[in-house]
Amino acid sequence: MKKVLVILGHSSSSSLCASLAAQYCEGAEEAGSEVKQLNLGELNFAPFLDGGYVEDQVIEQDIIKAQDDIKWADHLVIVYPTWWSTPPALFKAFFERTMLPGFAYKYKKSKKVVAWDKYLMGKSARIISTMDSPPMYYQWVVGDPGFKMMKDILNFCGIKPVKKTYFGSVKMSTEDKRKKWLQACYKLGQQD
């Protein structure tokens, strides 16, 4: 049985992203996967590292639980809105606080080259993002910075492959279009 963790990176539980995440969960459960969902808007954690990565910081219970869920999962599904070309600030803060040295990776001692152990190998991921730009414009003109950032973080920790699905333009979408997006997320949950 595949273990799927769906991470909702939108702070509102009534958002389109929340609905897309719910549909993905339903599809995955229908296909026989065991599914957990993590909603970042419900977590309690300091959104920054006080001393960067050189000083230890107390790790909140919600971050420890999130790390346990990430370890548990075979497949991560990360759902967020694209704001100012990248995931929301809360989402980036979550990854900075969660994907810590010793949990997600560890640098090896070397004087010649930067090397590290990847502690999250054997997992895959899918990024699902909504945006007001047309997805083709975002990818080809803007340069797809949100996905590049997320893929780099996940690959750095050993998570491969990382696939993406975009839905947009949200502002220009009709109710029928949004229903099709929800159906598409349900199908992704069945197929991933």
- Give me the CATH number covering residue 74: 3.40.50.360
Q: What is the pLDDT of residue 1?
A: 85
pTM, to two decimals: 0.94
Of the candidates 24, 125, 27, the one whose C-alpha atom is nearest the C-alpha of residue 73 is: 125
Q: Which two tokens stand for residue 170?
A: 């949200």
Q: For the chain, what is the domain count?
A: 1
Q: What is the pLDDT of residue 51?
A: 74
- Give the span between the Cα atoms of 79 and 85, in whole angstroms: 15
Kind of pairing, strands 124-131 and 75-81?
parallel
| In 79-174, alpha helices (H) | 89-98, 135-137, 145-156
- Give the span between the Cα atoms of 35 and 192, in whole angstroms: 12
Q: 138, 144 in Cβ contact below 8 A?
A: yes
Q: What is the pLDDT of residue 54?
A: 73
Q: Is residue 179 classed as helix, strand or coil in its secondary structure?
A: helix
- Domain of 100 in residue numbering reads as 3-191
Question: Along the 192 residues of the chain, how does pLDDT read in single tens digits?
Answer: 899 999 999 988 889 999 999 999 999 999 999 999 999 999 999 888 777 777 778 899 999 999 999 999 999 999 999 999 999 999 999 999 999 999 999 998 877 788 899 999 999 999 999 999 999 999 999 999 999 999 999 999 999 999 999 999 999 999 999 999 999 999 999 998
Q: 33, 1 in Cβ contact below 8 A?
A: yes
Q: What is the pLDDT of residue 50?
A: 78
Q: Is residue 29 classed as helix, strand or coil in its secondary structure?
A: helix
The answer for residues whose C-beta is within 8 angstroms of residue 117's C-beta and 6 or more apart is: 105, 106, 108
Kind of pairing, strands 105-107 and 116-118?
antiparallel
